[in-house]
Structure 1
Amino acid sequence: MVALRASQASLIPSTSKHISRTARRTFSSSIARKSYEDTVQNLRIGKHTRVIYQGFTGRVATGNAKDSIAYGTNIVGGVTPGKEGEHLGLPLLPNLRKAKEQLKPDATAVFVAAPQCGKAIEEAIEAEIPLIVSVAEHIPLHDIMRVASILKTQSKSRLVGANAPGIIAPIGYCRIGFQPLPTFAPGHIGIVAKSGTLSYETVASISRSGLGQSLCIGMGGDIIAGTNMVDALKVFEHDPETEGIVIVGEVGGRAEEDAAEWIKDYLKRTSKPKPIVALVGGLHAPTGRIMGHAGAWAAGGERLAKEKYSVLQEAGATMVDHPENFGGVMKTLLSQSGRDVSKILSNAQSQQKRGYHTLRRRPSPVPRRAVPQQQQRGLLLGKDQAKGPLEPYLSQVDGVALSSDAAPKDAHYLAITVDRTERSPCIATSPTADESQLGQRVRRFPYDWRQGPSDATIKQALEHMQLDAAPPAAMAQASALIQALSKMYKAKEAVTLSGSVSIDKNGNLRLHEPSLVLQFDDAAYRSNKRQEDIHSLRRRENEVPEEVEAEKDGIVFIKLEDPEASIGTLVNGAGLAMNTVDALRLHGGKATNFLDTGGKATSETVKKSFELILRDPRVKVIFVNIFGGLTDGGMIAEGILLAFKEVDMKNVPVIVRIRGTNEEKGQKIIADSGLSLEAFDGFAEAAKRVVEIANK
């Protein structure tokens, strides 16, 4: 996303209100009786679930389908536009209408590239496919807003994603997504997670404990998710196979707070509640930075990760600091809750006898140099640039002046932004623009993306700003300004347009330029080449050189400014990278950087990551923390050796923790390398060693 702003704080409000009117277009005839909320039960997948693929003949979909079929998923065919016949010995149809009629699917796996993904999801909604799973990253935010507005008008289809690993029911051997199958084991723990890599490490801990998983739902790391934590919790509550619940959250949004409210209610109304264990990544994430995932950023007016941790804990969830601990903690809580843990373990083990994780998995070819995905999520541009994009829209509002003065103490806050809980744009207002009070004073007024804000919604927003007693001219100008900003919001595919407004001595409204925050979604340009005029405003010369260089290789690198930090980190996956920074703090260490190589790291990206880390003179030791889900542990180990051969390591020690896919191979490569490398299985042992070296 692209941000044009004059102040350091990007202010997105934290309270919510229901949309006051429904959209006109509907895809389902049942809108009068039910709503999108009623589709949560479509998440209960299993052996019975008939799955199709959109984009079936694509290379990625084909490989994924082969693995899912081997796992036991009931794949019944798929769709590729314009093609008909067979693929993988299954029916191949040219459109979803025919697929719905002939294959009668319960779910569709949308393996379509980001530029076309929004349209593919809409087609699945129109065909009334009960469960739609979208895995693509970099789908433009406003494409998903349009999808969300359509979802609210019907009661047949449920969306999981986007930018999510998908959904998997190990107890029913049904996978819809790209989860690393060897990590999973049938059992009785339900998991909902924002982060893919953190969820894989969580799953591995639960599998090692013998408890296994009943259902795992990847919420996804985008700003708007088709299925959120509360949706998942509703399913876990009533699922007879689920004995315990795990929540994996991270910085950004309100999903964890909404989950906490649900937990408090659940514990009050349930005599024997299922144990709930949770983690929140990003406790030490720098404010104002986007931590890898499009939605992983906490804005002013939103609770930080530390606060969300406390909110969940106070609601009754048992908190852990590292996903490695989930299995042991859950076993203890199950026992304390009066459940027969030995019976749960016995049931899980009997189901695991035919598990895919016990089979020999055919190796997947890994290219030496993959084409990198552009992962840059945000940038800061000068306040002098705000006027240009705004001017065409402000010119539509008579009497409103763009002032170069700082906002006075009696200024009001106004924004058009995104309401993540309501999955829609919203007007956000506060009677004060004081940043220290916004978290308590801001309210959000959601509206339908396709229709724009109604007069009634605008009136409510203005009343909350306490402008209802302002001169009539200022009231009319404020209303017109909201309309103009909402048009700009949609036309330019913004994430947030906000600023402070005041009333001058003549009774007219002023918008204060130094307060402006104009934040745009760069996925619209990267995926669809839209909004080139906005994207061209980026000033790379003002950014951290290492961060810009990392982007070219598909790496997300964020330099952390603590002068006492001395540990360089190299991690695969945004959530796991955030948690690594957090967990090192618990062991007395401080990271110099956040580095996400991406979920599909290659040996070349590992080499490049070392180069970037070593440019920081603070670095005394490098911690490589890899969980091999989609990333092969052996390949990562080879990448580390490649770095030692081709990069000046400056005698900096390297501690390596490799778990997950091909962990034994990776650990053996490290052990046999003859280099000054130390390999560990467990995170705690590795972290202690890293901190010991850093503190020498």
Structure 2
Amino acid sequence: MALFRRSPASLALRPRSTVPVASRRTFSASRTRCGYDDTVQNLRIGKHTRVIYQGFTGRVATGNAKDSLAYGTNIVGGVTPGKEGEHLGLPLLPNLRKAKEQLKPDATAVFVAAPQCGKAIEEAIEAEIGLIVSVAEHIPLHDMMRVFSILRTQSKSRLVGANAPGIISPIGSCRIGFQPLPTFAPGHIGIVAKSGTLSYETVASITRSGLGQSLCIGMGGDIIAGTNMVDALRVFESDPETAGIVLVGEVGGRAEEDAADWIVDYRKRVGEKAKPIAALVGGIVAPEGRITGHAGAWRGVGERTAKEKYAVLEAAGATMVQHPEDFGGVMKTLLSQSGRDVGKIVGNAQKQQQKRGYHTMRRRPAAAPYRQESRITSNASKEQRRGLLLGPDQAPAPLEPYLGQAGVSLSDTEAPEDAFHLGVTVDRTARSPCLAVSPSTQPSQLSQRLRHFPYDWRQGPTDATIKSAIAHMQLDAAPPAARAQTTALLRALAKMYTDKEAVTLSASVSITPSSGTLTLHQPTLHLQFDDAAFRSCNRQEDIHSLRRKNLEDPAELEAETHGIVFLTLPSPAASSTAAQPNIGTLVNGAGLAMNTLDALALQHSGTATNFLDTGGKATAATVKKSFELILQDPRVKVIFVNIFGGLTDGGMVAEGILLAFREVDMRGLPVVVRIRGTNEGKGQRVIAESGLGLEAFDGFAEAAGRVVELANR
């Protein structure tokens, strides 16, 4: 049954953008130039794919390469600067130039820490390596925008990531990334996902259904992604091994809307032969204005909510689910309804699995599982905040030098009704900065009239781009002084955007009738900056020193020091009839944590008191600290532990729960535990044999139902 309804006509309401044309070639001397879009077929990895590692001799890369070699990945060597010889019995070379000449790689796995990762990706582009997979967390946004400005000028290299689990072809025995191998099985469902943990849940459901996977692409949860949903859909459409498609999205950006547009066109082109598509969008009940774990999990001005994106995908023809556990059964039904022989598809998948010896996630002994600490991160901090937002009272100080360049005055008055919206932000579809403007600032019109004008990060906005933005703001008839100041202001903001590594700079601006000049209204200022630049590279210290920790939630700050993302969710107003939050949640993975809140609310009418992502860094001590954070809230009547052991060891989580019961005052609260995935058997056994009265479940629906029952007592 549909959760939300929206007319197909609403598909036209999203902010439009103008994608910049590549300005010049970079790196390659090849004669034929097409474009970055032409590299999507580089995603079709398999036994033929020759893989190298950048950062090959590092601890994390070494362990990952061992597992990938055992899986069947055709790793032919790697690179560590300044070293040459052998590693893991494979060639080790000092630079990519030699690696390209001697090893002839098709793909590279970039296992390089965040401060150096952007440069490492650029070197791989320069070497014209066909597929570049970057797994590092906390790469500064502007480093990646520089990378994308280069990628756009060439047609040899395709990027997956950054901050992505990578890409894996179970049917082709090729893994480039850090996906938990026991979860995957060869088969015929293509999957693209923003969230790692949600993708692992999805994969497990598909595996249990017997369908298996053909190709799984993790696009990553950062603000911009080298490979997005439409790129993946183009590959799945033409892949003969892919019989059905799954999309896993979340709040923030327009990837799901772009995918919906593609699906509408695809169904028109192909008709009844179209491959069935199922989808999920996480973050439907996510708190407005907060970043829920992933760097890109926030809604910009003019962007649709997760609820609206759900409706747009449904209107386009995707079958929507509310929890990834449902994908296996849904896909079997869709394949049967489309006239495909499900028995044959399952049979083929099982034959592929038997060839490889991977029958199900339960039957392959798992190697020592990778945890999130094995991800490539900076050494700067454990903090997981992904942005600094300066309030209107703080914003003038860093902004005024740039306003001075534009000759624009700053007023502490509210914006008048005829003000216009003006700013610089990131266009996630164009993968570049953009001017974001609207002729109106009225809330009822802003989301529909806001338009993006992307520009090249290295060059800044061109005269033509600025002229188009001014025309959209309907300032053609404005006094010459106002038009000149608007041009200067846009250029000044674009300069500040790059200088200070901002995410969004925006405000309402009006024209003073008496003078015909611009006034920028201080109460409307929105200045958001990327904290990865500071945490990973120690850049922008002057901006990030403005953070006011004394005004932040002490529990959230405490969580930060332990590598935990924790948000306290508000209670409804006293006059509201909405249910009061009373369920404490403990989840591993940002996407899974978002979806847990969604499924509790939408499927079971339960309301959570918090968002808590232990991350893949979860240890027994981290789980214990998570319980302490949850228990600080007197509203909590029951605690729901929802763990999918992809990178996280289910047995270790169970030990952490027992540690909490021994050392933390649990206030006599009931605890419901669901552990699936890596080492789930041990985790479930530890819970069952604990003698602590914990309630353990395999399935999410049963566990969530019990949680709500306990909460309503």
TM-score range, shorter chain: over 0.9
Which residue of the partner structure matches residue 317 of structure 1? 318
Q: Distance between the aligned counterparts of 2:546 and 2:466, measured in 1? A: 31
Q: Given the superposition, is the C-alpha separation of residues 338 and 627 from structure 1 closer, same or farther in structure 2, using an over 3 Å criterion?
A: same
Q: Is the 8 A contact 2:369 2:678 kept in 1?
A: no
* Corresponding residue to 1:574 among 578, 586, 590: 590
Which residue of the partner structure matches residue 190 of structure 1? 190
Equivalent residue letter for 2:542: D
Q: Distance between the aligned counterparts of 2:245 and 2:693, measured in 1? A: 41
Q: Given the superposition, is the C-alpha separation of residues 20 and 632 from structure 1 closer, same or farther in structure 2, using an over 3 Å criterion?
A: closer
Does residue 286 of structure 2 align to residue 285 of structure 1?
yes
Which residue of the partner structure matches residue 626 of structure 1? 643
Give the secondary structure class of the aligned counterpart of 1:514: helix
Q: Given the superposition, is the C-alpha separation of residues 298 and 181 from structure 1 closer, same or farther in structure 2, using an over 3 Å criterion?
A: same
Which residue of the partner structure matches residue 224 of structure 2? 224
Shift of 1:367: 11
Q: Distance between the aligned counterparts of 2:62 and 2:23, measured in 1? A: 37
Does residue 566 of structure 2 align to residue 557 of structure 1?
yes
Give the secondary structure class of the aligned counterpart of 1:221: coil
| 1:561-586, Cα deviation, whole Å (9 max, x unpaired) | 02501000000000000000000012
Which residue of the partner structure matches residue 335 of structure 1? 336
| 1:471-515, Cα deviation, whole Å (9 max, x unpaired) | 000100000000111000000000110001101121111111111
Q: Distance between the aligned counterparts of 1:366 and 1:652, measured in 2? A: 29
Which residue of the partner structure matches residue 254 of structure 1? 254
| 1:628-656, Cα deviation, whole Å (9 max, x unpaired) | 00000000000000000111100011000
Does residue 104 of structure 2 align to residue 104 of structure 1?
yes
Q: Distance between the aligned counterparts of 1:459 and 1:529, measured in 2? A: 36
Q: Distance between the aligned counterparts of 1:493 and 1:363, measured in 2? A: 39
Q: Given the superposition, is the C-alpha separation of residues 469 and 31 from structure 1 closer, same or farther in structure 2, using an over 3 Å criterion?
A: farther
Q: Distance between the aligned counterparts of 2:140 and 2:152, measured in 1? A: 19
| 1:178-211, Cα deviation, whole Å (9 max, x unpaired) | 0000000000000000000000000000000000
Does residue 509 of structure 2 align to residue 501 of structure 1?
yes
Which residue of the partner structure matches residue 533 of structure 2? 524
Q: Distance between the aligned counterparts of 2:700 and 2:81, measured in 1? A: 46
Q: Distance between the aligned counterparts of 1:410 and 1:348, measured in 2? A: 61
Alignment RMSD (CA, Å)? 1.6
Which residue of the partner structure matches residue 600 of structure 2? 584
Shift of 1:395: 1.2
Shift of 1:376: 1.1
Give the secondary structure class of the aligned counterpart of 2:443: coil
Does residue 708 of structure 2 align to residue 691 of structure 1?
yes
Q: Give the TM-score, by structure 2 length.
A: 0.94
Q: Given the superposition, is the C-alpha separation of residues 267 and 31 from structure 1 closer, same or farther in structure 2, using an over 3 Å criterion?
A: farther
Give the secondary structure class of the aligned counterpart of 2:429: coil
Shift of 1:23: 3.0
Q: Is the 8 A contact 1:16 1:419 kept in 2?
A: no
Q: Distance between the aligned counterparts of 2:373 and 2:391, measured in 1? A: 39
* Structure with the larger RCO, 1 or 2 (CA within 8 Å, 6+ apart): 1
Equivalent residue letter for 1:593: N
Q: Is the 8 A contact 2:217 2:232 kept in 1?
A: yes
Shift of 1:433: 1.2
Which residue of the partner structure matches residue 10 of structure 2? none
Equivalent residue letter for 2:687: I
Equivalent residue letter for 1:648: D
Does residue 683 of structure 2 align to residue 675 of structure 1?
no
Shift of 1:110: 0.3
| 1:392-417, Cα deviation, whole Å (9 max, x unpaired) | 1111113x111111100000000111
Which residue of the partner structure matches residue 489 of structure 1? 497
Q: Distance between the aligned counterparts of 1:445 and 1:395, measured in 2? A: 24
Q: Which 5+ residue runs of structure 2 have no aligned equivalent?
A: 1-12, 573-579
Which residue of the partner structure matches residue 426 of structure 1? 434
Q: Is the 8 A contact 2:371 2:618 kept in 1?
A: no
Q: Is the 8 A contact 2:369 2:649 kept in 1?
A: no
Q: Is the 8 A contact 2:390 2:528 kept in 1?
A: no
Identity %: 77
* Corresponding residue to 1:602 among 608, 613, 619: 619
Aligned pairs for 1:325-404 (under 5 A) are 325-353=326-354, 354-356=356-358, 357=361, 358-364=363-369, 373-398=382-407, 400-404=408-412
| 1:308-335, Cα deviation, whole Å (9 max, x unpaired) | 0000000000000000000000000100
Q: Given the superposition, is the C-alpha separation of residues 610 and 517 from structure 1 closer, same or farther in structure 2, using an over 3 Å criterion?
A: same
Q: Is the 8 A contact 2:455 2:461 kept in 1?
A: yes
Equivalent residue letter for 2:367: R
Shift of 1:380: 4.3
Q: Is the 8 A contact 2:432 2:454 kept in 1?
A: yes
Q: Is the 8 A contact 1:30 1:154 kept in 2?
A: no
Q: Given the superposition, is the C-alpha separation of residues 98 and 367 from structure 1 closer, same or farther in structure 2, using an over 3 Å criterion?
A: closer
Q: Is the 8 A contact 1:110 1:120 kept in 2?
A: yes
- My pick for the range that moved more, 29-38 or 505-514, is 29-38
Q: Distance between the aligned counterparts of 1:31 and 1:491, measured in 2? A: 35
Q: Distance between the aligned counterparts of 1:478 and 1:129, measured in 2? A: 42
